Amino acid sequence: DWTMAEFRKTKIEEIRAQVGSGRVICGLSGGVDSAVAAVLIHEAIGDQLTCVFVDHGLMRLGEAEQVVSLFRNSYNIPLVHVDVEELFLGGLAGLTDPEAKRKFIGATFIDVFETEAKKVGGADFLAQGTLYPDVIESVSFTGGPSVTIKSHHNVGGLPERMNMQLVEPLRELFKDEVRELGRELGLPEAFVGRHPFPGPGLAIRIPGEVTKERCDILRKADAIYLEEIRNAGLYDAIWQAFAVLLPVKTVGVMGDYRTYDSVCGLRAVTSTDGMTADVYPFDAHFLTSVATRIVNEVKGINRVVYDYTSKPPGTIEWE
Ligand code: XMP
């Protein structure tokens, strides 16, 4: 019988064998996967590991603080917090094509890791929380032709010039298994149970050009949506729920005034591995109250729509 306790032991030995006395740098994205990878690797090699939290300004409300405090306070794992919002938002300016945005973000992550690796005297390995579905989906799509649907930012290897090897201890696992491993490693349930969040962050939830102003608007709408979901006791029944900010303005009326503001889309799906997904069937009353709160409380949004597309044919994220 295969258990997570055994997986943990085997992986720790494998990591030690791969790394030897080398130095490892691990990128934390705010998600469960990279956090679990970091804790596992830390258990294997201790202070040969440096964790880097790349704060690209594309996180959700309060996310950066939560991750930093989990690592520094609960685990006592040293963490370098790099504030690279300007670097990311600067490079995203003018980019509207989804793959161009993804490729820029992926390449910039690598640049940041390279810079941070130099600061700790060079690293021999880069660790990532890549999962099995990330590997598959960057190559082909279930049952479909062999084309790239999306370039997952953490798949596809490292540039030739870098003398770093990848450490990806979760590469064979599905999401539910990563959560089980996280529990096995003692991560708090509230962290392990978090909805998946993609490495490119809010950039792929803002179709069209990403700006700080649009990120701020989206962060507010997303926080209201998730707060309502939690208050209704629905968070754990949903695989992933989030708001998107559309590059479309429509006319509305608030009191005696005409408004001309952006449309916010709401998405919620159930899934077991992210490869296929069904729309979460909220009742109309719930969605109406979320829409009312968002329009009343978030300046810049005057209309809310719900996404009724399953995967396939839609993907979970909008880009
Ligand atoms: P899609 O949109 O392809 O998403 O149906 C499937 C799952 O993968 C997440 N996702 C990503 N995760 N880096 C990640 O770490 C990425 O580039 C990325 N793109 C999508 C998505 O949130 C969903 O859970």
- The predicted pLDDT at position 260 comes to 98
Neighbours of 255 (CB within 10 A): 5
- The predicted pLDDT at position 139 comes to 56
Task: Give the phi and the psi of residue 270 in degrees, each rounded to 5.
Answer: -105, 150
- The predicted pLDDT at position 147 comes to 64
> Is there an atom of ligand 1 within 6 Å of 98 CB?
no
Residue with tokens 């998946």: 196
Atom 7 in ligand 1: residue holding the nearest Cα: 274
Question: What are the extents of the domains in the chain?
Answer: 4-192, 211-306
> Is there an atom of ligand 1 within 6 Å of 151 CB?
no
CA-only gyration radius of the chain, Å? 20
What mean pLDDT do residues 257-284 have? 97
The alpha carbon of 288 and the centre of ligand 1 are apart by a number of angstroms equal to 27
| For residue 68, pLDDT beyond 60 | yes
| For residue 61, pLDDT beyond 60 | yes
Q: Return d(Cα 4, Cα 8) in angstroms, integer.
A: 6
Token duo for residue 40: 């596992």
What mean pLDDT do residues 251-277 have? 96
Within 140-193, where are the H helices? 175-184, 189-192
> Tens digit of pLDDT for each residue in 127-177?
999 999 888 876 544 444 456 778 776 666 677 777 889 999 999 999 999
- The predicted pLDDT at position 142 comes to 43
CATH no., domain 211-306: 3.30.300.10
> Is there an atom of ligand 1 within 6 Å of 150 CB?
yes
The alpha carbon of 150 and the centre of ligand 1 are apart by a number of angstroms equal to 9
CATH fold, domain 4-192, is Rossmann fold (3.40.50)
The residue among 109 and 154 whose pLDDT is bigger is: 109
Nearest atom within ligand 1 for CA of residue 106: 17
Question: Is 138 assigned a ligand-binding role in the annotation?
Answer: no
Answer for the pair 197, 82: CB distance below 8 angstroms, yes or no.
no
| For residue 113, pLDDT beyond 80 | yes
- The predicted pLDDT at position 9 comes to 97
> Tens digit of pLDDT for each residue in 1-42?
679 999 999 999 999 999 999 999 999 888 899 999 999 999
**Distances 127 to 159, 218, 317 between C-alpha atoms, Å:** 15, 30, 24
Please give the model's pTM, rounded to 2 decimal places. Answer: 0.92
Question: Is 30 assigned a ligand-binding role in the annotation?
Answer: yes
Write the DSSP symbol of residue 110.
Answer: H
> Tens digit of pLDDT for each residue in 167-209?
999 999 999 999 999 999 999 998 899 999 999 999 999 999 9
